[in-house]
Amino acid sequence: MFGLEAKDFRLLLLVALLTMAAPFILNPFPVDSGMAQFNAGYPDLMQRFVIFGIFAIGFNILFGLTGYLSFGHAAFLGVGSYAAMWMMKLLTMNVIPGILVSVVVAGIFSLAVGWISLRRSGIYFSILTLAFAQMSYSLAYSVLTPITGGETGLQPKVTDPRILDAALTGNAPKANLFGLEMGSSTDLVMGGWVFTFNVGYYVAAVVMIFAFYMSIRIFRSPFGMMLRAVKSNQQRLNYTGLNAKPYTLAAFVISGMYAGLAGGLMVAMDTQVGAERMFWTASGEVVLMSILGGVGTLIGPVLGAGAIKYMENILSKINKDILYEWFAFLPDGLQDFVITLVYPFIGKGWHLTLGLIFMAVVIFLPGGLVEGGQRIAAMFKRKKPSDNTPDGKTTPAE
């Protein structure tokens, strides 16, 4: 169905179901319980899950299929964000034109960057992409301030032209989809649970499902097979008479367009953009997402993006007061000792926890969280006995 094999269609269906049911899945604890702080089903965080999932899916098309490691994808994220913002300032607050233009502009910019960077490979390619990202950040932060807003960034104003929208009378402009505001939410109260259904989240979720579907088509296409050949042995591929550069450039542009799409959605959900979105740490973050989830797998980057954003937004909120509540059952001296050991790894020190998890994954699970899931499934999978050998044993041939 939809041009997919049965296995891929089941995976797509699983991702779609989990995404649509996220408000329920991410709110396992009642609001008034002590564990409610681990709930992640609020609109802003759910939007980040799917938007950075798109970002990571696109990055995986380049890194996972070709092996080319880019440290500059934050530039395309930022360029897409600025393009979407200017559409909202000049044309309309409807998110559709902004999202479409962000993809196009990011694609054009990635074509220029890729055409230069792909003249080299390996670490030299990575350094070139990092250089382009940092140049883009510097331009946005201090040089192109009339266009980017510099340090303060950009956001829609009442006085902006917006030629397709009616004039505003003092109300702050809000992103919408044909009149349906992205910030609109509906709460469903069921006992002690409160489930929030946000318009912006579901718009971003539908886009992510489509982006995931397109990534499956790319992975299973002859084009995807050619990209795998580039990763396997590009020199041998060149010996066959095939020029790999058009394929790698196409993968680079597609990956950049995914990043631009994520940037456009970020503006659609939160109508402001700043130069920090193009900083090198954002590029490093998407690398971590892909490796943590599983490079070269379909669902791995989505899992990695969700894991990192969960730790960033949930672990970082845990403070000493919460730890004292958790360990209140311990004697005072032991309680202080345990909290002293745990506190550096939560709150502002959540990066330490991420670093330890990342090290463990690289050492013990090179295939990321996907490999971990496969190992757990293999542990519970029993080998079926043969029809001719009811006891499951084979008889050696005489």
Full 3-state SS string of 90-114: HCCCEHHHHHHHHHHHHHHHHHHHH
For residue 130, which of 86, 41, 178, 68 has the smallest C-alpha distance? Answer: 68
pLDDT at 192: 86
And the tokens for 366? Answer: 């090179």
List the chain domain ranges.
Answer: 6-279
pLDDT at 396: 44
pTM: 0.91
CATH code for residues 6-279 = 1.10.3470
pLDDT at 384: 53
How far is the C-alpha of 265 from the C-alpha of 269, rounded, in Å?
A: 6
How far is the C-alpha of 270 from the C-alpha of 264, rounded, in Å?
A: 10
Report the chain's C-alpha Rg in angstroms: 24
How far is the C-alpha of 12 from the C-alpha of 25, rounded, in Å?
A: 18
Q: Which helix (H) or strand (E) holds 181?
A: strand 180-181
Task: Enter the DSSP assignment of 365.
Answer: -
Under DSSP, is residue 385 helix (H, G, I), strand (E, B) or coil?
A: coil
Torsion sign over Cα 253, 254, 259, 263: positive
Torsion sign over Cα 314, 319, 321, 322: positive
* Cα 152 from chain centroid (whole Å): 25
pLDDT at 105: 97
Q: Where are the alpha helices (DSSP H) in the chain?
A: 6-20, 22-25, 43-66, 73-90, 95-117, 122-138, 145-148, 199-220, 222-239, 245-269, 280-293, 300-313, 320-326, 332-342, 350-364, 368-380
Phi (first) and psi of residue 106, to 5 degrees: -65, -35
pLDDT at 33: 81
Task: Enter the DSSP assignment of 353.
Answer: H
With contact defined as beta carbons under 8 Å apart, do 265 and 175 qualify?
A: no
How far is the C-alpha of 73 from the C-alpha of 78, rounded, in Å?
A: 9
CA distance between the termini of the chain: 48
Query: pLDDT 10s per residue in the chain (398 long)?
Result: 778 899 999 999 999 999 999 999 999 999 888 788 889 988 999 999 999 999 999 999 999 999 999 999 999 999 999 999 999 999 999 999 999 999 999 999 999 999 999 999 889 999 999 999 999 999 999 999 999 998 889 999 888 888 888 766 567 788 999 889 999 999 999 988 999 999 999 999 999 999 999 999 999 999 999 999 999 888 888 888 888 899 999 999 999 999 999 999 999 998 889 999 999 889 999 999 999 999 999 999 999 999 999 998 888 888 888 888 888 888 888 988 999 999 898 888 888 988 999 999 889 988 999 999 999 888 888 655 555 545 545 444 43
For residue 55, which of 69, 40, 70, 74 has the smallest C-alpha distance? Answer: 74
